[in-house]
Structure 1
Amino acid sequence: MIGPILKSLRREHMDVNLRHGRDRVVRIMERPGLWMSEADLQALTADLRTIAAKTLDAGRLSYGVFAGNRDRMRDTIITLVTHRDGTPIAFNALAIMTLDTQPDPTDVLHLGLVMVDPDQQFGGLSWVLYGLTCFLLFVRNQFRPLWISNVTQVPAVVGMVSEMFSGVWPRPDADRRTLNHVLMARRIMAGHRHVFGVGEDAEFDETRFVITNAYTGGSDDLKKTWDQAPKHRAAVFNDFCAAQLDYTRGDDVLQLGQIDLPAFRRYLSREVPKSAVFGVLSTGIYVVLRRLIPPVFYWSDSTRQFSILRPAKDTYPSRPSGDDRDV
């Protein structure tokens, strides 16, 4: 038991499991394209396609996680929900977009594609699929704010993002957009359209943050009519989407916001069931320990090389005889 735990703590990327209820398991896999074997990667892709096949005609979905491409999986975080027997029932594919900003590049977590087996729609999975991975990454990032993005035409998702995260633009009650919102949106649309399957012919309205004619870049089968799009319990979000988006043409709204301490508090108090709070906090502690414990092991072992750290016996090689230069 101790061996597997220590081995998992030494992994660079997150790969954690936690139980959801009595008969479900949630597995979060960070950048599986970097460390997962080819067989396991193909099995993961097959699980995602199985879920998608129950939702729509996934045979024509050619972007992102459905491509079965290792390179695409290098910048993706998969949250997979299965029954205890391994049957996949839901997933979230969260993409990591690195934007060229000043003074340093900025990583943006794109909420990506969420799919749930229609038979499991009312199984209390929204807090797992939409927030859990983001907030574990926030904890691992030492509670420093992280940017998130969301591209959707679904009023229920627009409302969920607006209520869960901080500083979201656009949203019905937002006062104004900031310069950061505009600059990040420009960079996302300029270099990361492939992440959410938007074609080059789609146009972006910077005033409203609406992508017009958005379903021409691989995500064609995800286009919904107004009647098909799930609605939010608060009518204000439904009215917002109805007024801003043309569902016949196929428009999306691009939302940008942040995960910060107030958002983290709202997530734990509003979204996570009380019965699951302990499990979420325990998983957060585990994620933190994976960042704290390995450096202690590496620094305390002076006999082995780690990255640029050299073994103590080789740190100061002997100088040739007669070399009495000052150090």
Structure 2
Amino acid sequence: MLRFWLKALTKPALDLTLTTHPGLVTRIIERPGAVLDDVALAALVEQLRIVAGRTLAQGALSYGVFSGERERLSQTIITLITEKESGKPIAFNALAQMRVSLNGDQQEVTHLGLVMVDPDQRGRGLSGVLYGLTVLVLFIRGGLRPRWISNVTQVPGVVGMVCQTFSEIYPSPDAGARQSFAHLTLARQIMRDHRHVFGVGEEAGFDEARSVITNAYTGGSDDLKKSFAAAAQHREPHYNAFCESTLDYERGDDLLQLGRIDLPAARRYLIGQLPRASLPGLLGAGAFLLLQRLVLPILYWLDDGRRFGLLRPRPSRQRL
């Protein structure tokens, strides 16, 4: 029995399936390029391309998950929403984990990534699940320790959602928003080492003080460029005004937002954006992840037949 629970708790990556809306299923799969076989990986990429084909009026994307490269998909967390009965994919988010250095320590920044929703399914509150649920699950699995997130967008609706959900967001039009040294340090590293994550070419510029990427749609994300009028607006006008005054939409600018998920952010998300239908599944998954984080070390100590890092198994008393 002990070995059964050890096997369950030591899975190499997340692969959770939750009911988040009536008739819909949300799957969160971590590092699919590292854990799925060729057939399963090809099927997953095809589901993402189906959603993209329904979302983009013309053109195609060639960066990140759409390339189908195992290396890229080994650094990604996919959140995929499908219809329960038909299995038809209708929305997804592709998060990326970026390794950075901050205060002498190696850390991971979770990039909120590309979100796409089938036009026929918009207005059902799917964006809240796609942008926040996986980050919340990672936060729980990490023992409720604050973790950095990043977001690259020119869409006012997304800018406002990120500002209202996460903590210490910069840039933001909200009162008290400021660029700390940590914000600037992380932004510099992301623009130096991780442009490929969000499809920004080397020729794009970066205004450090405003955290604005200039001429951003040149590295594979070309077909995502929008005019201000075509970009989804936020219900609170000051986010729309901030984007319109800060970004040059004709040139193709993006905001590089950085912030953190912490306990206050998790509370805001649970109260304000998480669909009620997903609470039972999330509570069950959260309890299991906390069990994995808090109880697993005890199980390691109790199992004296296997090696875990510096812990050694008990020597056998039998002579060979």
Report TM bin, short chain: over 0.9
Which string of whole-angstrom CA distances, capped at 9 and with x for unpartnered residues, describes residues 266-289 of structure 1?
A: 111111234433332222112222
Q: Which residue of 2 aligns with 1:241?
A: 243
Asked if 1:145 corresponds to 2:146, the answer is: yes
Asked if 1:15 corresponds to 2:3, the answer is: no
The letter for the 2-side match of 1:162 is: C
Which string of whole-angstrom CA distances, capped at 9 and with x for unpartnered residues, describes residues 63-117 of structure 1?
A: 1000001100111110010111321111000000011333211210000000011
Q: Which residue of 2 aligns with 1:281?
A: 283
Conserved 8 A contact 2:26-2:82: yes
Q: Which residue of 1 aligns with 2:269?
A: 267
Distance (whole Å) between structure 1 residues aligned to residue 282 and residue 133 of structure 2? 8
CA 1:155/1:88 → structure 2, altered by over 3 Å: closer, same or farther?
same
Asked if 1:36 corresponds to 2:27, the answer is: no
Conserved 8 A contact 2:96-2:112: yes
Q: Which residue of 1 aligns with 2:313?
A: 311
Equivalent positions of 1:146-161 (< 5 A) are: 146-161=147-162
Q: Which residue of 1 aligns with 2:200?
A: 198
Query: How far is 1:311 from its partner?
Result: 2.8
Query: How far is 1:241 from its partner?
Result: 0.5
Conserved 8 A contact 1:34-1:74: yes
Distance (whole Å) between structure 2 residues aligned to residue 198 and residue 314 of structure 1? 57
Equivalent positions of 1:74-153 (< 5 A) are: 74-84=74-84, 85-153=86-154
CA 1:4/1:302 → structure 2, altered by over 3 Å: closer, same or farther?
closer
Conserved 8 A contact 2:6-2:299: no
Distance (whole Å) between structure 2 residues aligned to residue 90 and residue 275 of structure 1? 17
3-state SS of 2:91 partner: strand
Conserved 8 A contact 1:57-1:221: no
3-state SS of 1:229 partner: coil
Q: Which residue of 2 aligns with 1:252?
A: 254
Query: How far is 1:308 from its partner?
Result: 4.7
Q: Which residue of 2 aligns with 1:50?
A: 50
Q: Which residue of 1 aligns with 2:167?
A: 166
| Identity rate, percent | 54
**Could you list the runs of 5+ residues in structure 2 that have no partner in the other structure?**
none
CA 1:61/1:96 → structure 2, altered by over 3 Å: closer, same or farther?
same
Distance (whole Å) between structure 2 residues aligned to residue 129 and residue 210 of structure 1? 24
Distance (whole Å) between structure 1 residues aligned to residue 218 and residue 4 of structure 2? 45
Distance (whole Å) between structure 2 residues aligned to residue 293 and residue 34 of structure 1? 26
The letter for the 2-side match of 1:183 is: T
Distance (whole Å) between structure 2 residues aligned to residue 76 and residue 227 of structure 1? 31
Conserved 8 A contact 1:52-1:58: no
Distance (whole Å) between structure 2 residues aligned to residue 245 and residue 4 of structure 1? 54
Q: Higher Cα Rg: structure 1 or 2?
A: 1
Query: How far is 1:309 from its partner?
Result: 3.7
Conserved 8 A contact 1:14-1:287: no
Query: How far is 1:296 from its partner?
Result: 4.2
CA 1:86/1:274 → structure 2, altered by over 3 Å: closer, same or farther?
closer
Distance (whole Å) between structure 1 residues aligned to residue 264 and residue 295 of structure 2? 28
Q: Which residue of 2 aligns with 1:321?
A: none
Which range moves more in the overlay, 28-37 or 185-194?
28-37
CA 1:106/1:304 → structure 2, altered by over 3 Å: closer, same or farther?
closer
Conserved 8 A contact 1:60-1:221: yes
Which string of whole-angstrom CA distances, capped at 9 and with x for unpartnered residues, describes residues 214-235 of structure 1?
A: 0000100111111210000000
Q: Which residue of 1 aligns with 2:189?
A: 187
Conserved 8 A contact 1:168-1:174: no
Distance (whole Å) between structure 2 residues aligned to residue 272 and residue 300 of structure 1? 38
Query: How far is 1:294 from its partner?
Result: 4.6
3-state SS of 2:282 partner: helix
Could you tell me the TM-score, scaled by structure 1's length? 0.90
3-state SS of 1:224 partner: coil
**Could you list the runs of 5+ residues in structure 1 that have no partner in the other structure?**
318-327
The aligned length equals 315
Query: How far is 1:22 from its partner?
Result: 2.9
3-state SS of 1:150 partner: strand
